[in-house]
Structures are given as C-alpha cells and as structure tokens.
Copies of this chain bind each other. A is one copy, B any other.
Amino acid sequence: MSSSNSGNWWKHLALYGITLGLLMASLQYSKLHILTYGQSEKWYIIVIAILFAAVGIWAGMRWNRKPATSKPDTPSPVLPKDQILAQLGITPRELEVLEQIAEGKSNQEIAESLFVSLNTVKTHLSNIFAKLDAQRRTQAIQKAKSLGLLP
C-alpha cells in the first residue's frame, strides 16, 4: 500500500470506473434522483464518460499494437548478397562475425573461433552496428536477415 505497489492499483481503478459508469447509467434509468444535478448535466457527464472511454479504448489498442505490416520484408532480394555487402561496406571478416552472433555465440566464443582477440571482435561488431544502423546484436541480426545477408 505504501510506496512500491505500482502493480495493480490501476486495475482497481478500472473496476471502479466501470462500476461507476454502470451505476450512473442505472441511476438514470431508474429515475432515482439522488444526484442534485439537473437533467442536462447528468447526461452531459454520461456522454463525457462514454466519449472518454471510447477514446481510451482506441488509444489503448493503438498504443499496444505491434507493427504487423513489417512482415513483407525482402524475402527474395533482387540484389545479390555481394552487392548489398558492398553497398553497406561490410567486409568479409565482419560478415563472419555477423554470422556467428546470429548463431548465438558470445563475443568471447567468436574470438576463439576466429583466433582473434576479444577486442578485435568488438571492433568488428562496432563497425557492423554502424553499417547496419543497429544498437544491439539482436537488432543487427534482424536487419541482416531482412536484407538477405543471413538465412
């Protein structure tokens, strides 16, 4: 209840909100004039509530939707791999590193597998990230795959 309860309070809030809405609606229908507002003001409030609920639903669905349109990437690129590599300026060694991160290897493992130092792998990776415009290895993998550089 004190400070770090952030998990579920808003669920309750939501329930309260829904309940409030139902309550107000039923109050309207039953003509129990408990509230001291005039008729027009009551309806005004209800309209506002419904309106905002609708807007909220729309916003919520909007906000949480994943970009489903990103599926039709480049499955059959017209350009051959070599050309894409050249275009991006990715060198053969960098591609090797790229392939290995896609296999789930750590930098250390890649270094050992290529017989180079960890620092070298990092350097290659930095260059790859710059050329693919990625911030993370997972992102680089994703981009490389959609470019057809990786299976």
Complex CA gap A22/B16 in Å reads 12
Q: Is A21 within 8 A of B52, CB to CB? A: yes
Q: Which of B11, B35, B65 contacts A58 (CB 8 A)?
A: B11
The residue in A37, A44, A48, A57 that gathers the most chain B C-beta atoms within 10 A of its C-beta is A57
Q: A residues 46-62 with Cβ under 8 Å of B? A: 48-62
Give the size category of A's interface with B: 35 or more
Q: Decide yes or no: A61 and B63 within 8 Å by CB, A134-B104, A138-B141, A139-B104 being known contacts.
A: yes
* B-contact bits for A8-43, CB 8 A (1 contact / 0 none): 001111111111111111001000101111000100
Which residues does chain B contribute within 8 Å of A11, judged by CB atoms?
Answer: 58
Q: Is A15 within 8 A of B18, CB to CB? A: no
Which residues does chain B contribute within 8 Å of A123, judged by CB atoms?
Answer: none
Q: List 20 A-B contacts (CB under 8 A).
A: A11-B58, A14-B58, A16-B20, A20-B20, A25-B34, A35-B37, A37-B41, A44-B45, A51-B52, A56-B59, A57-B60, A60-B64, A61-B64, A64-B65, A101-B138, A103-B138, A104-B141, A106-B136, A138-B138, A141-B141
